[in-house]
Amino acid sequence: QLAGLAVIAFGLWLRFGGAMAEFATDKKSPEYFFLGLYVLVGAGAIMSAVGFFGCCGAARESQCLLGAFFACLLVIFAAEVTAGVFAFIGKKVAIQEAQKIYEDAYDDYMKNPVGKVNSTIYRYHVALQCCGKGGVEQVGLPCPENIQLPKASNCLVEIQNVIDANLHLVGIVGIAIAGITIFGMIFSMVLCCVIRNTRDMI
C-alpha cells in the first residue's frame, strides 16, 4: 500500500508539479508522455487498493484472498512494465510532441505578440528556463529573468532534456515497482502453499 501511494504521488508530481505540467495547460498536450504517467498512477492506485487483499488473506489465512492478491499483483506488474516500455521506447515520440506544442505556441506569438499568447509562451520559458528556438530568435520574446543566454536560448533542446530526465525517472520507478510486485507474488504463493500444507496435515 505504501509503495502504491508513493507511485501515485510520484506520477502526480510529474503530471502537475514538474516543468512538463505547463504543456498540459492548453488545448494540446504531449499525449504519449502523459499516457505513461496515467498508467503509472493507475497501477499505483490498484496497488494501494489490493494491499487490502494481501493483509486480510495473511491475517485470516485465506487461500482465496491470497489468490485474488496474486492476480491483482499480476495485473499491476503488467501495467508497470507497460509504463517502463512507454518511458524507454516512446521517448522520441514524446519529445517530438512536446516540441511541436512549443513551436505552435512560438509561431502564434510571432503572429500576435500580445494577450493570452504572450502569457502562454512566457509560461513555457519560465518552466523550461529558456527563451526562443536558438540564434537571435529570442529577441523580442518574453524571456524570464536571470537565464543564461545564449546557452538557454534553444527551448527545443531544453524540452528534450526535460523529457529525457522525466521519462528516465518514470522508467526506473516502473521497473523498481515491478520488481517489488514480483516479490509480492512470490511471497503470496509461498504463504498460500504453506496454508494449504498446514491444513492438509491437520
Q: Is there a contact between 24 and 15 (Cβ–Cβ < 8 Å)?
A: yes
Report, as an integer, the average pLDDT of 27-43: 69
Whether 5 is covered by a domain: the verdict is no
Whether 110 is covered by a domain: the verdict is yes
Whether 171 is covered by a domain: the verdict is yes
> What is the pLDDT, as a whole number, of residue 117?
65
> What is the pLDDT, as a whole number, of residue 70?
82
Whether 81 is covered by a domain: the verdict is yes
Return the residue matching grid coordinates 524540452: 159
Whether 121 is covered by a domain: the verdict is yes
Whether 146 is covered by a domain: the verdict is yes
Whether 187 is covered by a domain: the verdict is yes
Q: pTM for this one?
A: 0.68
Q: Which domain holds residue 130?
A: 61-201
HSE-CB at 136 with a 13 A cutoff on CA atoms is: 0
Q: What is the pLDDT of residues 2-18, one digit of tens each?
A: 777 887 888 788 777 76
Report, as an integer, the average pLDDT of 154-170: 82
Whether 47 is covered by a domain: the verdict is no
How many separate domains does the chain show?
Answer: 1
Q: Is there a contact between 180 and 157 (Cβ–Cβ < 8 Å)?
A: no
